[in-house]
């Protein structure tokens, strides 16, 4: 479920920075600023590890996603992207 919310990882860090900016402007104690800074980065790290855990434990399979092309008459086989290293 966290893979759909990957935006949360940088958002937690940004939210922590904004809260620290407000706390710094309000002359909050250094310990409070430290807790917010470390807590936001720690929460983002935990969310990242949760996303990694979910990604590694999903069923193994090949996912081929069609993408849009700028060529109007392209056949469906031309719209599929498959990367194979060292093959022409």
Domain boundaries of the chain, sorted by first residue: 2-56
3-state secondary structure string across the chain: CHHHHCCHHHHHHHHHHHHHHHHHHCCCCHHHHHHHHHHHHHHHHHHHHHHHHHHHCCCCCCCCCECCCCCCCCCCCCCECCCCCCCC
**pLDDT tens, position by position, 29-82:** 999 999 999 999 999 999 999 999 988 888 877 666 656 655 565 555 555 555
Q: According to the model, what pLDDT value does residue 60 have?
A: 75
Separation of alpha carbons 6 and 3, rounded Å: 6
Rounded average pLDDT over 4-10: 93
Cα–Cα distance measured from residue 2 to residue 8, given in angstroms and rounded to the nearest whole number:
9
Is the pTM of the predicted complex or chain greater than 0.75? no
């Amino acid at each position: 479920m966290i893979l759909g919310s990957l935006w949360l990882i940088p958002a937690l860090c940004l939210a922590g920075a904004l809260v620290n900016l407000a706390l710094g402007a309000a002359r909050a104690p250094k310990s409070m600023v430290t807790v917010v800074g470390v807590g936001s980065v720690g929460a983002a790290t935990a969310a990242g590890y949760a996303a990694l855990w979910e990604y590694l434990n999903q069923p193994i399979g090949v996912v081929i996603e069609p993408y849009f092309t700028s060529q109007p008459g392209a056949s469906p086989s031309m719209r599929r992207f498959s990367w194979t290293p060292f093959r022409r």
